[in-house]
Amino acid sequence: MAENYYDILGVGKGASDDEIKKAYRRAAHQHHPDKSGGDEAKFKKVNEAYQVLSDKSKRAQYDQFGQTFNGGQGGPAGGGQGFGGFDFSGFDFGGASSAGGNFEGVDFEDIFSNIFGGGGSSRSTRSRQSGRGQDIQVDLEITFAEMVEGVRKKVRLYKNAACEHCKGTGGEPGASVKTCPTCKGSGQVQKITRSFLGSFSQVSVCPECEGRGQIYENKCLVCRGDGRVKKEEDIEIAVPAGIESGQTISLRGAGEAGAHGATAGDLYILVRVATHRKFTRHSLDILSQEEISFSLAALGGEIEIETIEGNLILKIPAGTQSGETFRIKGKGVPDLHGRGRGNHLVKIIVRVPRRLSRDQKRLLEELKNSGE
């Protein structure tokens, strides 16, 4: 039994378009074959599910016909909805008696497979028709300081890239183009299938020209006509200052190259910000803590503190209480869209001594008796 498209993406039937897109990106990233631990079969299923659920009309048909849906190719692909309304009396069942309800010897699985081309054919047909390259998703870890300042990083990808020899066309340089002899330039071929339901016409993408209608006299000797070759490629990523951990940067056309010069896929970079030993982030503010002595809190003074831009001096007023927070304006995280910058908030923790000398105890007793 075919897997449910909603289950493949891990969403409910009532999921919004945005939820479906996010689920697709997450699942595609998890199973991408170029990633360690990736699974090409699952990756293909994820893409197949997204092709249907991201299209409103195909999704509506899928919701109606369920597992008998044939990838948006015009309705149900099997007998899941029954055959009410069909008059079977005029069909030849190869010796089986329709009147008596005896269909022994009739291989319905083969019949429906021949008529409708199987559940996976529509997906491969659409893939060849579009030729668009696959999207790629990668993780990129940056430091806390790089998040605040912005940074340029290089990632190395092993992917399908446009063949340099033929410039992605798939034809040997200088080779002439001719009309495909198989489909006569239409890009499609028709197949007539006969069954007990009658004759059915099935139209599919031409296997010779893959739907283009034209072919080169001589295929490229390097890519063998595909227009793509596997290669390593370094791509520079500009990470903007202020990006949050978990946000995604997209680079249009930086994914897998499309077949025969078709549009390339996109590259999605999921940014992760490494944990800092001292600082945490809250919106656009940077938070940190500083311990001071009991005497400094009581009498006041100055301490040197660490900020993301270096050390500076913070004045501690006399009578500062443990838990008080001081704001250093403009030393926080820049707004991602250039609208100002947050602050650095320093929380003061007063360190109470565990052991006191006699003189210290006496002074504290006097302080206590004075009403403080």
Q: What per-residue confidence (pLDDT) applies to 229?
A: 95
Q: What per-residue confidence (pLDDT) applies to 112?
A: 43
How far is residue 341's CA from residue 332's CA, in Å, rounded to a whole number? 6
Instruction: Please report the beta strands in the chain, taking only residues with DSSP state E, as ranges in sequence order.
Output: 136-142, 151-162, 177-179, 188-195, 198-205, 214-216, 228-239, 248-251, 267-273, 280-282, 285-293, 301-307, 310-316, 325-328, 344-351
Query: Over the stretch 62-84, which tens digit does the pLDDT of each residue have?
Result: 887 665 554 444 444 444 344 44
Fold match, 1-67 / 280-355: no
Helices (H) and strands (E) in the chain, counts: 9, 15
Say how many CA atoms lie within 13 Å of 238 toward its Cβ: 3
How far is residue 272's CA from residue 240's CA, in Å, rounded to a whole number? 13
Q: What per-residue confidence (pLDDT) applies to 38?
A: 79
Positions of the chain with pLDDT under 50: 70-129
CA-CA distances (angstroms) from residue 336 to 16, 147, 284? Answer: 27, 10, 9
Q: What per-residue confidence (pLDDT) applies to 372?
A: 56
CA-CA distances (angstroms) from residue 234 to 161, 163, 313? Answer: 12, 16, 43
280-355 is a CATH 2.40.50.100 domain: no
User: In sequence order, which residues have a C-beta less than 8 Å from that of residue 336 and are 6 or more positions away?
Assistant: 240, 241, 242, 243, 244
Beta-bridged to residue 138, according to DSSP, are 269
Domain boundaries along the sequence of the chain: 1-67, 135-272, 280-355
How far is residue 93's CA from residue 290's CA, in Å, rounded to a whole number? 87
Contact 34/136 with Cβ under 8 angstroms?
A: yes
Nearest to 191 by CA among 205, 203, 173: 203
**Helix axes of 56-65 and 40-53: crossing angle, nearest 10 degrees:** 100
Q: At the fourth CATH level, which superfamily is domain 135-272? A: Heat shock protein DnaJ, cysteine-rich domain (2.10.230.10)
Q: What per-residue confidence (pLDDT) applies to 66?
A: 65
Q: What per-residue confidence (pLDDT) applies to 240?
A: 96
Q: Can you spell out the DSSP letters for 103-155?
A: -TT--HHHHHHHHH--TTHHHHHHHHHH-PPPPEEEEEEE-HHHHHH-EEEEE
CATH code of the domain occupying 1-67: 1.10.287.110
How far is residue 3's CA from residue 45's CA, in Å, rounded to a whole number? 9
Nearest to 70 by CA among 113, 8, 9: 113
Q: What per-residue confidence (pLDDT) applies to 326?
A: 97
∠166-171-175 over CA atoms, to 5°? 110
